[in-house]
Amino acid sequence: MVIEPSDCTFRTLMKWRKEIVSYNGGDQGFLNEIFVWWHRLPRRVNFLKNFWSNKTAEITMKNHLFGADPPKLFSIHYLGLKPWLCYRDYDCNWNLQDQKVYASDVAHRRWWKVHDEMVEGLRAFCRLSPERRDGLERDRKHAEELNFGDRHWTIKITDSRRFA
């Protein structure tokens, strides 16, 4: 969905925010309830990064799309923990049991490739706060304690933001 920002649209959203319940608990469900007339954009414009079925065919197909060069997708809608909130070494969604359906190292690498092509001034917004670094370390340790089979927690972290 593409919405032109306006004061009128904002007031409409605020007016209905407590009365209209999102059918899926998220912002997209709320927006779909407000803007019932909208037309879906092609899937390639807003491709969701998730692996609900966890089937090999789905994983293979989606990772192919995420990693295609030249790109086959116009945008990737990153669900779960966003790449800029993870170390660049791997998708930190692997470290949380309830977030694994969003984990993709291929999509993660794609985001960091785009990041590295951004102007330096924009990259500054992708720094990790000390609290976030602590959270990442805590999640890695927890994944190790639970001995997650994907073993992403064993990957050596080289991201310079770990020590910034």
Instruction: Report the pLDDT value the prediction gives residue 91, as an integer from 0 to 100.
Output: 97
What angle separates helix 27-34 from helix 7-16, to the nearest 10 degrees? Answer: 110
The pTM of the full predicted model, rounded to 2 decimals, is 0.77
DSSP string, 105-159: HHHHHHHHHHHHHS-HHHHGGGPPPHHHHHHHHHHHHHHHHTT-TT-GGGSPP--
- Provide the residue ranges of all domains of the chain, joining segments of one domain with +: 1-40, 43-162
Q: What is the mean pLDDT of residues 96-106?
A: 95
Side chain identity at residue 155, one-letter code: I
**Res. 132: pLDDT tops 90:** yes
User: How far apart are alpha carbons 118 and 103 in whole angstroms?
Assistant: 23
What's the rounded Cα separation, in Å, for the pair 13 and 17? Answer: 6
Residue 27: predicted pLDDT: 80
20-47 tens-digit pLDDT: 988 777 787 888 888 888 776 777 787 8
Are 76 and 49 contacting, i.e. CB atoms less than 8 angstroms apart? yes
Percent of the chain residues past pLDDT 70, beyond the cut: 97
Q: 88: buried, middle or exposed (CB in 10 Å: 19+, 13-18, 0-12)?
A: buried
- Give the residue, 21 or 103, on which the prediction is more confident: 103
